[in-house]
Amino acid sequence: MSIKQFNGEWVCKEDRVLFRFNTSEDQEFSFWLTRFVVKSLIQGTQQLAVQNLEKQHPPQVAQAMQEFQQQAVAQRANFQETYQVPSQKPLGDEPLLVTGLVMNQNGDQTVIEFQLITQKSVNVQMNQSVLQVMITLLNKLQDVAQWGVGLDTSTTTPDTAAPAQVLMH
């Protein structure tokens, strides 16, 4: 599955983010993301990106590179393009609540398993540039929601003893 576009909005009445993406296969996946899930996605993906960069760079350099890359993506992100609604919705018309996440790094790809309230899951594999666009959108939405769980702008060094597999529920 190749992601073509992301779309999201904070829904005040639900206090959740409605997050959708469409694929090059003309499919749409639609989820409700809670504050905790958004926080886990932002922090977990950032941690995996830094760990991947640390394979070739010292920790401080890896952290700085990751922050620079994320800022560059945020500056180039196009939030004005109209979202194209696909004809196929494999999970149905209604968004499903994400109740947990599993994230792993597989070479240059980040694999995210969205665990759903229906006891099913959706696995998505993204390269770093696509992942950074998704995180930029989620960070913007959490800002609108005033959740305070967004990207850390401080220059702290990551915990190098963190596990390679991030499991969050």
Burial class (CB in 10 A: 0-12, 13-18, 19+), 38: buried
pLDDT at 160: 34
Cβ-in-10-Å burial (0-12, 13-18, 19+) of 122 comes to middle
Write down the pLDDT at residue 107: 84
Query: pTM value?
Result: 0.83
Return the pLDDT at 151. 79
Q: Is 93 exposed, middle or buried (0-12, 13-18, 19+ CB in 10 A)?
A: exposed
| pLDDT < 50 stretches in the chain | 153-169
- Answer yes or no: are the C-beta atoms of 1 and 27 closer than 8 Å: yes
| Paired residues of 16 in beta bridges | 11
Query: CA-to-CA distance for 147 and 169, rounded, in angstroms?
Result: 18
User: What are the tens digits of pLDDT across the range 33-58?
Assistant: 999 999 999 999 989 888 888 888 88
